[in-house]
Amino acid sequence: MSTTSERVPMVTLADWVPGPKQGEWTYSDYAALLNDGQRYEIANGVLVMAPAPDGPHQDAVLRFAHYLLVHVEFANLGKVRVAPSDVELSPNNVYQPDVFVVLNPHLNRVQEKKVIGAPDLVIEVASPSTAPYDRLTKYETYAHFGVPEYWIAKTDPRTVEVLVLENGKYRSLGVFRGQETLPSRIVPEMPVHVDQFFA
């Protein structure tokens, strides 16, 4: 029998945090929270806390950000940001994607403290503790608010699924691994092999 300390930390309801009732949280409530070192998001008005990322997760985030900086920001195509950076899709849907891209035509969405509206590309590095949240809740919300491309990366196995928005729903272009490159519509012809995103 496992103890609490041996269990995999999960995305949990942050019911202990002082504030409005669950289901009624907005960005203004969220922005007023004291920094307690935790990572919070709002999903349909519900405040949730994500577990602290592990080493392989952080390594992957750094590599995705590095290659996107080179092929997007340094190429003057747009802006790249990493968590913790708020994306306010609506007042009651506020996320901190692991990595995201806002292309030049949408830079008016980028403000000093947050992005208002959908990024052009969102990348979530899923772990066993966050995979259902990334594949269900965030998947549906990102589609609803018009994020054109969503990558779900997994450090074990080392894969990246590329999802593109078509008629309001995501269509998978496949799960890519090893020496394959990603068929991105937002960052086309990025010559980076999937293995390069992982330590």
The pLDDT, as a whole number, for residue 131 is 63
pLDDT in tens, the chain (199 residues): 333 333 346 788 899 899 999 999 999 999 999 888 888 999 999 999 888 888 999 999 999 999 999 999 999 999 999 999 999 999 999 999 999 999 999 999 999 999 999 999 999 998 766 666 677 688 899 999 999 999 999 999 999 999 999 999 999 999 999 999 999 999 998 999 999 999 7
The pLDDT, as a whole number, for residue 132 is 67
Number of helices (H), then strands (E), in the chain: 4, 12
Dihedrals phi, psi of 78, to nearest 5 degrees: 170, -160
Predicted model pTM:
0.90
Q: Within 10 A of 54 (CB to CB), how many other CB atoms are there?
A: 13
> What is the rounded CA–CA span in Å between residue 19 and residue 13?
13
Q: Within 10 A of 15 (CB to CB), how many other CB atoms are there?
A: 11
Question: In the chain, what are the domains?
Answer: 4-50 (no CATH), 55-197 (3.90.1570.10)
